[in-house]
Amino acid sequence: MPDERDNPGVIAPPPLVFGVPLILSLLANRKTRLPFLPSGLTRPLGWPLVVLGASLGIWFFITMKQVDTPVDPRRPVSRIATNGPFAYTRNPAYLAMTMIFAGTASIKNSLPSILLLPAILAVMNRGVIEREERYLERKFGEEYRRYKKSVRRWI
């Protein structure tokens, strides 16, 4: 029986996939104090990542509002966003969250946080992005396949 739900069936809201591990790893770092950067690099590396990630996230929200499609990946999509940040990456919100996560880990110099990031990206890839892509192909067919061929998943 084909999948008939009108949403991608993501495993969890992406802010939770990023946020919960970040909070837990920062708490763990308070106990262990395991740095991964020289202290002079933490802020010069971290703050630009946080600011750029937040800016990209704002651009994503503005674009989604303009296209009039929901931000929540658990809701049905009305149309494919291909303008704004979507002209450069198919996943601007997830790229923004990755940048904010990495920037925060850098500012806090948290080795537990930065070590978790590859696992979080793997969960995002399998549990969110691949499901969204299957859903969008199912819903929009050739229109989404053309977009997918012309714009990279990340950057």
pTM of the model: 0.93
The pLDDT, as a whole number, for residue 3 is 53
The pLDDT, as a whole number, for residue 18 is 98
The residue behind tokens 């802010």 is 15
Per cent of the chain over pLDDT 90 is 90
Average pLDDT over residues 90-100: 98
127 contacts 12 by C-beta, under 8 angstroms: yes
76 contacts 7 by C-beta, under 8 angstroms: yes
Instruction: Give the number of C-alpha atoms closer than 13 A to the C-alpha of residue 128, restricted to the C-beta side.
Output: 22
Confidence of residue 4 (pLDDT cuts 50, 70, 90): low
The residue extents of the domains of the chain are 14-27+39-150
Confidence of residue 1 (pLDDT cuts 50, 70, 90): very low
The pLDDT, as a whole number, for residue 17 is 97
